[in-house]
Structure 1
Amino acid sequence: MQKFDVIIVGGGMVGLTTALAISKKSDLRIAIVDTQPLAEISAHHDVRVSAINRVSQQLFTNLDVWQDIESSRAQPYQHMHIWDKTGYGHIDFDLSDLSTREHNGQLGWIIENSIIRQALWKKAEHEANICFFTQEKLTNIAMGDSEVFASFSTQAPITAKLVIGADGANSWVRQQMKMALTFRDYDHHAIVATVKCPQGHQQTAWQVFLETGPLALLPLAEADSANGSLCSIVWSTSPEEAKRLIALSKGEFAKALTAASDGKLGNISLVSERFSHPLTMRYAQNFIKDRVVLVGDAAHTIHPLAGQGVNLGLLDAAAIAQTLTEPLNNEQGSVTSNNPQWLSPIHLKQYERWRKAEAGEMIAAMEAIKQTFTPQQAPVKFLRGIGMSIINQIKPVKNVMIKQALGFKSHLPELSKVID
């Protein structure tokens, strides 16, 4: 029976980041359990992308994976244009709204999930204290007096002092531990696809608020990125409208997309399949139970309208790594499994308070934005347009908003901090 200090269930972006962050700050022995194979990086863009903010980019830099991500296929953007389809309000964000230290030349990056995962996975494979289990899924986790027993169907079980559930929105770990979940249907489905925009994305992240929900057009990396024309769309709309849009022919869907975006990127054409999935808010009532911790989508999911879901999960990864390793790193150097202080229940509770508070704030913020742009009577639409226009003219207010979008907060994990 192999013994570890930490078992991470889930080898996606957040799980792998958690492993690398713990490994960077300690000698703890880590097992990653995930049976999903790495996706091949082909010439065709993956429709699943993430908006990576400045703080997450700094985390990847500190984990020595950013160079691999950036060199593979990562599209930076320097502008954000947000407008109201049913009114006249709009907000524009630009690098000039921030200091050079804060933006580092970009407002953010649009990157395919498969590219991020591959860079993290390959980095983890070279860490001596990280071991992968990819043949079978876990079938059971049981609590012992001082360790957790994790069982497979045919392989020998493994043990650890702590299990971290990083296995996504429908977390098996969360269900296995009977950790209660608060959830609410957003009454939206998200349509994702890759499209071609003849007027080019202009290194801009575009978002329009429609009567039925927001539509984002996010720039994708190409060989000639200066004149790139490919975008990833995330179209959040009612389930009925999503069904109708998915049923349209490629040509009719492209026409609907061009009309929805007011033709700002030209006559859009569809270059990939369309996929649709329901959107649900999830919030685990506890992020820790016994010797189990939840991170990322296993702990919380939010509406994608601000593109902050994965960034919130990456902060969980950096935060749990800091929680486990900080008590000893300040005094005795590297953390080892022989010293029990790294698994203090007090420190785990601190992680829970820290991350639950931030996830709760983000969920509330997404709900407030969603409600602001739900169908309203004409007077409300008028006031909403005035509000957006006023904000667009007040630089200090815009500065606060863009800093939030870039991930700057008062309490950041050390690995995520931008250092002068």
Structure 2
Amino acid sequence: MQRFDIAIVGGGIVGLSAALAIAQKTKLQIAVIEPQPVAKFTEQPKLRVSAINAASQRLFARLDVWETMLEQRLQAYQQMHVWDKDGPGQLTFADQGNDQSLGWIIENDVIRQALTQQVEAQPQIEIIPQPLSNIAVGDSEVFLSFAAQPPVLARLVIAADGGNSWVRRQLKLPMTFRDYDHHALVATVKVASHHENTAWQVFLDSGPLALLPLYDPSLCSIVWSAPPERVANLKSMSDAEFEKEITCATDGKLGMINLVSERLSFPLKMQLVENFVQQKVVLIGDAAHTIHPLAGQGVNLGLQDVLALADTLEDAFANGDAEQVFSHADKVSVLNKKLGEFSRFRKAEAMEMVVAMEAIKQGFSLQQKVPKLLRGLGMRALNNLPLLKQQLVKKAMGK
């Protein structure tokens, strides 16, 4: 039976980043449990992309994976243009500081490939490509079993297995839940005009529609959030009907839009676990919190969990090896205290983002004419307040 100091359940962006960050800061032996292999690189861009902010880019650079991503494909964006479809409001964000980019749009598989390559080169990290069948939390260790291989023991488990976290469900961990009553439709489109290295977002009566710039100036990834019946209608349209619909929805700002991929959709929900640390299990990323994608901050919030957890473990193991910290009562108490502080800090940060996304969503859901007018005037006023606008840019960039 294999024993590890830490077992990370989930080999997505957040889980692999956590493995690398913790390995850089400690000598702990780490297992990454992920049954899904990394998808092969294809010429056609994948539908699932992430908007990576400056803070996350710095983390990737520190983990020695950023250069690999640059060698594959990504797209920086220097501006974000937001407008109200049926009102006078519009906003244009651009960073006026030292950085030239607000962020980068990167396919999730490109990020995961770069992280996996780096993880495989680390002797203290082992990838277990098997699905878990059972988890049992004991007094000193966590028992993890598989259907097709011997079980393993870990002194600490990190759940990074996404919004439908298997670990969270197995342990029946309490959380706050809200169905946004929205689905997100994702697809890749070709635009007649250059995307101008800009992230475009229009707020419609039914919800926000984002066009995110890809590596090809004529390609954008779309995320269209709307009630389930509206998304079902959009998916049932012919390609020609859909192209007319999205061109009209975006006011032709990027010219005629053509669909170049399939259309996929998934439900949107807010989730926030009661405690990020439960006994010997730590939850990070979407396993701990999911938010509305309208600001593209979900994965960045998860990567901030990674940074905080790696710093917490570095501090906890600074004056003792794994055997001492995990076995001696006084050091176990210190570790638990530090993990408790991590839990409270990251939950507060996640709660702040949940509230912010809810406020934006509700503000753009108002259908009455007077609130619409006030909303539009507010957007125009904000657009003319450079100092306040720059503070919002810095917050989005993770500065």
- CA distance in 2 between counterparts of 1:41 and 1:339 reads 43
Match of 1:416 in 2: none
Instruction: Determine whether 1:379 maps to 2:370.
Output: yes
Question: 1:23 maps to which residue?
Answer: 23
- 1:369 has 2:360 as partner: yes
Shift of 1:182: 1.3
Aligned-residue sequence identity (percent) comes to 54
- Could you tell me which amino acid in structure 1 is paired with residue 242 of structure 2? F
Matched residues in 1 for 2:303 and 2:73: separation? 20
- Count of matched residue pairs: 393
Equivalent residues of 2:95, 2:393 under 8 A apart: no
1:167 is matched with: 161
Of the three residues 257, 275, 296, the one matched with 2:285 is 296
Residue 116 of structure 1 aligns with an amino acid whose one-letter code is: I
CA distance in 1, matches of 2:317, 2:14: 24
Q: Does 1:338 align with 2:332?
A: no
1:306 aligns with 2:295: yes
Report the TM-score, using the length of structure 1 for normalisation: 0.92
Deviations, residues 322-369 of structure 1 (Å, cap 9, x unaligned): 11112344xx5xx63233048711011011001100111100100000
Asked if 1 retains the 8 angstrom alpha-carbon contact of 2:95 and 2:390, the reply is no
Q: Which moved more, 1:141-150 or 1:361-370?
A: 141-150
Partner residue, 2:391: 400
**Are 2:198 and 1:204 equivalent residues in the alignment?**
yes
Structure 1's unaligned 5+ residue stretches are 223-227, 409-420
Question: Is the CA contact (8 Å cut-off) linking 2:5 and 2:322 kept in structure 1?
Answer: yes
> Within 2, Cα distance between the matches of 1:257 and 1:143?
50
Is the contact between residue 195 and residue 218 of structure 2 (CA under 8 Å) also seen in structure 1? yes
State the partner residue of 1:181.
Answer: 175
> Pick from 240, 247, 252: which aligns with 1:263?
252
8 Å CA contact 1:212–1:375 kept in 2: the answer is no
How far is 1:156 from its partner? 1.0
| Counterpart-to-counterpart distance in 1, 2:205 and 2:100 | 34
Structure 2 unmatched ranges of 5 or more: 326-330
- Deviation track 1:382-409 (CA, whole Å, cap 9, x = no partner) reads 111110001000111101111111012x
CA–CA distance in 1 between the matches of 2:170 and 2:341? Answer: 23
SS in 2 for 1:236: strand
Aligned to 1:6: 6
Residues 75-94 of structure 1 mapped to structure 2, 5 A cutoff = 75-94=75-94
Contact 2:202-2:250 at 8 Å conserved across structures: yes
Distance 1:43 1:12 in 2: 21
Equivalent position amino acid for 2:244 in 1: K
State the Cα distance separating 1:319 from its structure 2 match: 1.1
Contact between 1:84 and 1:385, CA under 8 Å: does it hold in 2?
Answer: yes
Shift of 1:95: 2.9
| Distance in 1 separating the partners of 2:316 and 2:157 | 19
User: Does structure 2 retain, via aligned residues, the 8 Å contact 1:110–1:220?
Assistant: yes
Using the size of structure 2 for normalisation, the TM-score is 0.97
Secondary structure of the residue that 2:225 maps to in structure 1? strand
- Report the residue type matching 1:248 in the other structure: M
Q: What RMSD in Å do the two structures reach over aligned CA positions? A: 1.1
Match among 119, 144, 147 for residue 141 of structure 2: 147
**What SS does structure 2 have at the residue aligned with 1:193?**
strand
Contact 1:165–1:293 at 8 Å: present in 2 too? yes
Secondary structure, counterpart of 2:271 in structure 1: strand
The answer to whether the aligner puts 1:235 opposite 2:229 as a matched pair is no
Counterpart of 1:365 in 2: which secondary structure?
A: helix
How many Å separate the matches in 2 of 1:313 and 1:182?
17
Q: Secondary structure at the match of 2:323?
A: coil
| 1:40 pairs with 2:40 | yes
Cα distance between partner residues in 2 of 1:200 and 1:375: 32
TM-fit CA distance, 1:291: 0.3
SS of the residue corresponding to residue 36 of structure 2 reads coil
> Offset of 1:160 from its aligned partner?
1.1
Where does residue 185 of structure 2 map in the other structure?
Answer: 191
User: What's the CA shift string for 1:309-331, capped at 9, x where partnerless?
Assistant: 000011111111111112344xx
- The residue identity in structure 1 corresponding to 2:306 is A
In structure 1, which of residues 90, 113, 117 is the aligned counterpart of residue 112 of structure 2?
117
Deviations, residues 248-306 of structure 1 (Å, cap 9, x unaligned): 00111011000000000000000000001110111111111110010000001000000
Partner residue, 2:55: 55
**What is the SS of the residue equivalent to 1:195?**
strand
Contact 2:56/2:304, CA 8 A, preserved across alignment: yes
The residue that corresponds to 1:320 in the other structure is 309
> What amino acid is the match of 1:355?
R
State the Cα distance separating 1:177 from its structure 2 match.
1.4
Preserved contact between residue 320 and residue 351 of structure 1 (Cα < 8 Å): yes
Conserved in 1, the CA contact under 8 Å of 2:291 and 2:357? yes
Distance of 1:326 and 1:72 partners within structure 2:
35
Q: Secondary structure at the match of 2:322?
A: coil
Query: Contact conserved, 1:177 with 1:289, CA < 8 A, in 2?
Result: no
Distance in 2 (alpha carbons) for counterparts of 1:339 and 1:121: 30
1:140 shift after superposition: 1.2
**Does the 8 Å contact 2:176/2:271 carry over to 1?**
yes
The SS at the match of 2:373 is helix
